[in-house]
Amino acid sequence: MKNFIKYGFIFFAFLFLGLGVVLAQEKDKTLPKANDEYNKSKFAEAEANYRISNSKFPNRSVAPFNLGNAIYKQNQASEAKYAYAKALKNARSRVQKHKAYHNLGNVFMKEKDYSQAVEAYKNALRNGPNDEETRYNYALAKKMLKENPPKDNKDNKDKNKDKDKDKDKKDQDKKNQDKDKDKKDNKDQNKDKNNGKDKPDQNQPPKPQPGGISQDRLKNLLDAVNNEEKKVQDKVKSNKEKGRPVQTDKDW
């Protein structure tokens, strides 16, 4: 067992659950297409359709779980964990929870957040106690956590330094009060000179914009959506020319 864990990290990447995507229990025309694209390694196209399926059926766990897998396969593990969290929120069975927690643990392992990984695998085992892959990853995560403990000592030292700086900061704040008062008086005087209007501060830095999907992945998603829309339009046009009704897909 000791040697098993010692070399286990090399094989960790092969222990990812759910890459054979989960099938929907109810009819969903978009999800089967996304699953097919995923199995053909068209992960950007699959991601786009999983997002569409998730928006149409927001209370299901299948689409967000598969979405997390598609994002993970595009080397965006940190983003994938939000999809797995959504899948966990909507999960109705222990099997679904087990798979989502397992893959969430893989994300934390990739981020080297071994403490969170241990907890995720532990929850996965609670919902799937007989899964050997999860048990293996759980043992590996505990080993890595032991070898890479959280830096609590450094945090304590930083807290002590902050306490030592508090006194100096209070003294400095007191000195700055007079300066702030002078600046306010000068600002009020300038305001009066400009008919009561403040001039915009041209040196003010722009406000940071909220984060999101990277530009490259956003472009891939938009291209995938546009391609799907073009296919639908061509199909409608073709059916009109033939003068025959379109047959509906069979239930999964």
- Could you give the CA distance from residue 177 to residue 210 in angstroms, rounded to a whole number? 33
Helix (H, G, I), strand (E, B), or coil: what is residue 184?
A: helix
| Domains contained in the chain, CATH given | 22-147 (1.25.40.10)
Q: Which residue has the higher pLDDT, 18 or 89?
A: 89
Q: Quote the pLDDT of residue 220.
A: 75
Element (H, E) at 43: helix 43-56
Q: Quote the pLDDT of residue 49.
A: 95
Element (H, E) at 172: helix 152-193
Q: Quote the pLDDT of residue 197.
A: 45
Encoded tokens for 38? 């995923």
Q: Quote the pLDDT of residue 27.
A: 82
Exposure string of 119-155, with b = 16+ CB inside 10 Å and e = fewer, is bbbebbbebbeebeebebbbbbbbbbbeeeeeeeeee
pLDDT digits (tens, 9 = 90+) for 210-241: 445 667 777 777 777 777 666 666 665 655 54
Residue 102, Cβ density class (10 Å: 0-12 exposed, 13-18 middle, ≥19 buried): buried
- In the chain, beta strands by DSSP E: none
Residue 205's CB is within 10 A of a number of other CB atoms, namely 6
Place 200 in a pLDDT band, splitting at 50, 70 and 90.
very low
CB proximity list for 122: less than 8 A, separation 6 or greater: 138
Q: Quote the pLDDT of residue 219.
A: 74
Tokens 């002590």 belong to which residue? 160
- Could you give the CA distance from residue 165 to residue 159 in angstroms, rounded to a whole number? 10
Encoded tokens for 192? 């009066």
Q: Quote the pLDDT of residue 151.
A: 80
Q: Quote the pLDDT of residue 211.
A: 45
Q: Quote the pLDDT of residue 131.
A: 95
pLDDT at 43 over 80: yes
DSSP 78: H
pLDDT digits (tens, 9 = 90+) for 141-194: 999 999 999 886 455 555 556 665 665 666 666 666 666 666 666 565 555 555
